[in-house]
Every structure is written in C-alpha cells, then in structure tokens.
Copies of this chain bind each other. A is one copy, B any other.
Amino acid sequence: MTQPRLSRRGLLGGSVAAAGAAGAFAAGRATASEPDEAARAASYAFRGEHQAGIVTPAQDRLHFAAFDVTTDDRDELVALLRDWTEAADRMTQGGSAGEVGPVEGDPLLPPDDTGEAIGLPPSGLTITFGFGPSLFDDRFGLADRRPGVLRRLPHFPADALDPATSDGDLCVQACADDPQVAVHAVRNLARIAFGRASVRWSQLGFGRTSSTSTSQSTPRNLFGFKDGTENVKAEDGAALADHVWVGADDDPAAGWLAGGSYLVARRIAMRIETWDRQPLADQEAFVGRAKGSGAPLTGTDEHDAPDFNAATGTVTTIAPDAHVRVVHPDAHGGVRMLRRGYNFVDGSNALGGLDAGLFFLAFVRDPDTHFVPVQMAMARSDALMEYLQTTGSALFAVPPGVGEGEHVGQALFA
C-alpha cells in the first residue's frame, strides 16, 4: 500500500479529524505545496529491491539502535515490523512517523509523531532494518529459518566487549544529512515499539568514514587517515553481487534473505591521545598509506594499487604488519566489504581523554568468508591494533527490500 505523503511541518491547523482519509492528507497536508522545501534535500524511496541505506550514497550522520524484543508473541512481532515499515516509509519521504502527525490529531491523545522534525526536509534519510541471531531462538518459531552463518561473531583477540552495547534481536540504522532527522527516526521507531521492543543500545555517529558511491570523495577517520578507499561502490554491480547481496542459493534455510545482506557492527574505540604522539612516519607505516593523499606507500595516488613486493633491500616498503596489507583482499581470497561506518565521540573517558573512535559498519554477503577471517588477521597482526579496542559487536541479517504492500522481513514470516 502506498502511504500518503504527509508533511511533518505540522503548521496547517490542529483539527483535521479525518485522519484516516487519504484524501484529506492529499488536500491539506501534502508537501507538494511546498516545493522549495522539497527541493532542499534529497529523499530516497524506502521500498525497492534492496533496502535503502546500503548502496545509498553514504549520508553524513548516523543514529544506530539495537532492540530487544520484549514480547514473546509472534503476531506482535509481525505487527511491530508492519508498523515500523509504515513509519519508515513515511519518515524517509519527509513525513511524520504516524499517519496523523505531530500536532494534527485529537489534542486529548498523545501525538503519533514527537515533533522535533517539524519543518525539516527529508535530509536523505534512510532506515535499514536487521535481524540478530537471537531473534531465531525458540520465541517466535524462527529457529529453522536461521541462516547458518547468522550467529554471534567469534571472540577476536583484544576484543573488550561490553554486553550492554553488543548484540540485539533487531537493529535500525538511520542515516541522514541532519542528525535531528536521524534521531527523530530512531526515537519514533522506539516509541512505536513500546511494549513490544525496547532499545538495547544506540550509537550516534558523524563524518561518514566510507564512501559508497564513486561520486563521493573518501572521508577521514579519527586517526586522520582516509578510510574506505577500496570500498565496494554502488556503481559496481558485479562487486555488489559477489560481495554484498546474499544469493538465492547461498543458504537453503534462508531463501527469505536472498537480495539481503549481513551487517557487521563494531564499536571500535581509538586510543587517539597515544596515536597523536606517534611520529607521522610511524603512523603512515602502521596504515601503509600516506596521511595526506591516502596513496599507498608504494604509489602516489589514493587509488593506486599497493605493491606489496616493493622493497628497499630486504625491507618491504609496506611493512608486514601494515593495515593495508593485513586486510587487503589479496590476502583473503579477494573478498571485499561495503563499509558504511561513522566516527564517534561519546564524551570523555576516565583517563582525561576523549571516548572516540570508529563505529564500524560493513555489509557483506557472508560474514564467515567476508568478515571473520579479515578481522581475525587484523586482530592478530595489524600494527593498528595497539591503538584500537573493540567495545561493542553485533551481527544482523538484513532482509531484502520491501515491496508495495509488504512489511520488512515479510518472507521470513511467510
């Protein structure tokens, strides 16, 4: 069902009682009458072959939340996913979370939108949903539909995970070019979930650390280096098919996931104060790239392929423990990821430093082949590890896109 496109401006009167009539929306509250605002920012369709927020050109702000389902009733879970789908469909188009709006409803009822996004354009909002391994326990009858590779990530050396900021039954990734729009989305989805699911942990991020389109330049992480140079890009359909989208025959138990992906989320704290005291040459040796240009130490341009055999005498130019060597596809059978992480600063730590780092997000076709071996190699032998500590970790199956009249993950429950 196509949702009417509501305005979230909420300034056109507070007594439109015919809230259920699509005609009333179209006449009284459509944004079509506000072309300037509509033009102010991009919007992305919520429905489609794949979920938005994966190959969508990475927006600059993130609010990510993991939820625990608090009901044991399968029907209530399905109803939640249906409600979330309708709300996400509206909000990504610049509309309200609910079908009435923040100020248009019965004043004796709580509004069905919280209002802080009134007047804000869509701001490129995407909302992407995922299912954690724990959703497939015995509560909802989904155990036999769990993909074989959807299980808690293994313990990696130097992980220091806080259970309170790891895992989750469900996840919501909200990306936008305005943090207030991303926060509004997660906050309203949490509100809608009341009594059925509650926020387990949430993470804000900024300054996308990867580009997902060839139209975007490569941004910098809080080590000051360009990050995600070799990312899978939206324009490379073959790479997406090989490395990001789950194939129809990948897992007999999980045909419902075909066209979806797996989302790895890792909260990686950086010891930035220690990093900042390292000589530039050491920083570049640890990464294997020049800090300014992002070029590999064997090249001059960011996108030059690193030459891992180049050496001065017996010393390779790119060190054995350089990050670019340890995680390079050449060392892992050619596997690539679509990374979509964000920088974060969460206040300060007990040592008088900033609690800062990288909230790593990567979409892969198979975590067992595309993430775990790469992360294991990095944890074991990457020079950067001295400056990193992973404090949160989660894996989610991201179902394919949502068709008209469907809710997210519908095939899983069919």
Contact = CB atoms under 8 A, between A and B. Distances in A.
A102 B226 CA distance: 13
A352 interface: yes
B200 A352 contact: yes
B292 A348 contact: no
A198 interface: yes
Interface in A190-238: 190-191, 194, 198-204, 206-207, 217, 220-225
Given A10-B291, A107-B281, A291-B103, A221 B345 contact: no
- Report whether over half of chain A's contact residues are helix, strand or loop; otherwise say mixed: loop
A109 interface: yes
Contacts of A107: 279-281, 284
Contacts of A194: 273, 277
A226 to B, nearest CB: 9
Contacts of A11: 292-293
Contact of A14 (B290, B353, B354): B290
A240 interface: no
Interface string A336-358: 00000001011110011110100
A346 B343 contact: no
A68 B103 CA distance: 45
A62 to B, nearest CB: 11
Listed residue (A105, A178, A292) with the most chain B CB atoms within 10 angstroms of its CB = A292
B102 A292 contact: yes
Interface in A252-277: 272-273, 276-277
A108 interface: yes
A72 B323 CA distance: 41
A28 to B, nearest CB: 13
B190 A353 contact: yes
Contacts of A351: 198
A277 B110 contact: yes
A109 B280 contact: yes
Contacts of A356: 183, 187
Given A110-B279, A277-B110, A347 B345 contact: no
A55 interface: no
A347 B201 contact: yes
A292 B353 contact: no
A354 B280 contact: no
B348 A111 contact: no
A105 B348 CA distance: 29
Given A10-B292, A183-B207, 15 more contacts: A14-B280, A14-B290, A61-B206, A105-B280, A109-B279, A113-B224, A114-B222, A116-B220, A118-B224, A178-B207, A190-B354, A198-B352, A199-B352, A201-B347, A204-B346
The 10 closest A-B pairs by CB, nearest first: A115-B224, A198-B352, A107-B281, A180-B207, A103-B292, A179-B206, A199-B348, A107-B280, A10-B292, A202-B348
Interface of A: 10-11, 14, 61, 63, 65, 68, 70, 102-103, 105-111, 113-119, 165, 178-180, 183, 186-187, 190-191, 194, 198-204, 206-207, 217, 220-225, 272-273, 276-281, 283-284, 290-293, 343, 345-348, 351-354, 356
28 contacts: A10-B291, A68-B352, A103-B280, A103-B292, A105-B280, A107-B284, A108-B279, A108-B280, A108-B281, A111-B224, A111-B276, A113-B224, A114-B224, A114-B276, A116-B207, A116-B224, A118-B292, A119-B217, A119-B220, A179-B179, A179-B207, A180-B207, A180-B343, A187-B222, A190-B353, A190-B354, A199-B352, A204-B347
